[in-house]
């Protein structure tokens, strides 16, 4: 992905791992002394070993909202600053979350395949969907993206509740301190929280069973938020009504069992991939770099405590 190459090279001396013929370890060793900043555009793990090869490293700039691929403990130990993309992708990710939800509920991809396969021979001989109007929607992680999703669902008459680390007194939605109670109270779960040790597989089989056979899960957060193997079993067994997934546990690998299921809508981690969002994240990354090297406040710093 080279959308940042030209804007970065106009302001900084840039070394590109994605165009280098050398293995990443050799590349890092060759340029170790000169690298003061790393711009992480993809999902290359920024591990303790990676960081150890760069003795002059001062800042890691993530071109993503999530930073679970960065060893924050090692960055803290080394005094390396970390920033992320903040709300650069927010509007577009929220749009796709709602799009996935409507697509799952109304079976839009299944209906598209139905027509393309030539099966439409008489009226109403196709899979029926379910309406979004007045659905009870639980949002797991009411941060900037979760809030934008909630805002988009309000005009549909959805009853919105949420789970976060703590209640947010300035929002009009019902707070659930536990994920199980959130699942029990809703028709839909939308996952938009960060992936941490605490949230890994936070949606397990018990949560899915609690959501129930009419329940829908939308994941635009990280694949590791849900127990993917159990999710597949739940879909096959009819424990869930449907899912919409933009993220997966071991990208770009996707469980093959999902391909034949008509109640599943898949997207290749593309929620923020619009021209507008890529422009936004480029500006955020550049602003963070310029601020850091000018000793100015960072735009979206990641807390390492």
**Same CATH fold assignment for domains 5-88+273-293 and 90-266:** yes
Report the C-alpha gap between 162 and 168 in whole angstroms: 10
- Predicted model pTM: 0.89
For this structure, is 106 an active site residue?
no
In the chain, what is the straight-line distance between the N-terminal and C-terminal CA atoms, in Å?
31
Of 176, 222, 228, 230, the active-site residue reads 222
User: Would you say residue 70 has pLDDT above 90?
Assistant: yes
- The arithmetic mean of pLDDT across residues 71-96, rounded, is 96
Tokens of 180: 């199980």
Of 6, 49, 237, 251, the active-site residue reads 251
Each domain of the chain, given as residue ranges in start order, spans 5-88+273-293, 90-266
- pLDDT value, residue 148: 97
User: Would you say residue 302 has pLDDT above 90?
Assistant: yes
Between β-strands 188-191 and 216-219, what pairing exists: parallel, antiparallel or unpaired?
parallel
* Residue in this structure with the two tokens 């899960």, named with its chain if needed: 217
Q: What is the pLDDT of residues 33-69, one digit of tens each?
A: 899 999 998 778 999 999 999 999 999 999 998 898 9
For this structure, is 269 an active site residue?
yes
- pLDDT value, residue 199: 96
SS3 content of the chain, % helix, strand, coil (to 5): 40, 15, 45
Q: What is the mean pLDDT of the chain?
A: 93
Report the C-alpha gap between 211 and 246 in whole angstroms: 20
Q: Which candidate, 138, 272, 154, 145, places its Cα nearest to that of 215?
A: 138
- pLDDT value, residue 155: 98
Q: Which CATH superfamily includes the segment(s) 5-88+273-293?
A: NAD(P)-binding Rossmann-like Domain (3.40.50.720)
| Topology (CATH) of 90-266 | Rossmann fold (3.40.50)
Report the C-alpha gap between 157 and 132 in whole angstroms: 8
Q: What is the pLDDT of residues 252-280, one digit of tens each?
A: 999 999 999 999 999 999 999 999 999 99
For this structure, is 276 an active site residue?
no
User: Would you say residue 160 has pLDDT above 70?
Assistant: yes
Of 78, 106, 201, 269, the active-site residue reads 269
User: Would you say residue 293 has pLDDT above 70?
Assistant: yes
Q: What is the pLDDT of residues 205-231, one digit of tens each?
A: 999 999 999 999 999 999 999 999 999
Report the C-alpha gap between 182 and 39 in whole angstroms: 37
């Amino acid at each position: 992905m080279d959308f940042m190459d030209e804007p970065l090279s106009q302001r900084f001396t840039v070394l590109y791992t994605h165009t280098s013929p050398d293995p990443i370890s050799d590349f890092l060793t060759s340029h170790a002394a000169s690298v003061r900043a790393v711009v992480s555009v993809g999902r290359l793990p920024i591990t303790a070993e990676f960081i150890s090869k760069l003795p002059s490293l001062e800042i890691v700039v993530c071109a993503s909202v999530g930073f679970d691929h960065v060893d924050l403990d090692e960055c803290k130990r080394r005094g390396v600053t970390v920033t992320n993309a903040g709300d650069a992708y927010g509007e577009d990710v929220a749009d796709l979350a709602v799009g996935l939800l409507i697509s799952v509920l109304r079976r839009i991809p299944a209906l598209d395949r139905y027509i393309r396969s030539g099966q439409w021979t008489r009226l109403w001989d196709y899979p029926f969907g379910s309406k979004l109007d007045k659905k009870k929607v639980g949002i797991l992680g009411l941060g900037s993206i979760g809030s934008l999703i909630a805002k988009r669902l309000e005009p549909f008459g959805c009853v919105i509740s949420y789970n976060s680390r703590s209640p947010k007194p300035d929002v009009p939605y019902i707070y659930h301190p536990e994920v199980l109670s959130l699942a029990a109270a809703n028709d839909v779960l939308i996952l938009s929280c960060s992936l941490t040790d605490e949230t890994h597989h936070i949606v397990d089989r018990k949560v899915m069973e609690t959501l129930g056979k009419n329940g829908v899960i939308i994941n635009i957060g990280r694949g590791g938020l849900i127990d993917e193997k159990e999710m597949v079993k739940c879909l096959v067994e009819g424990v869930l009504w449907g899912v919409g997934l933009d993220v997966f546990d071991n990208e770009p690998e996707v469980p093959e069992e999902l391909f034949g299921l008509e109640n599943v809508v898949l997207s290749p981690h593309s929620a923020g991939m619009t021209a507008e969002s890529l422009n936004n994240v480029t500006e955020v990354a550049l602003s963070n770099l310029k601020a850091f090297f000018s000793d100015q406040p960072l735009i979206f710093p990641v807390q390492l405590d």
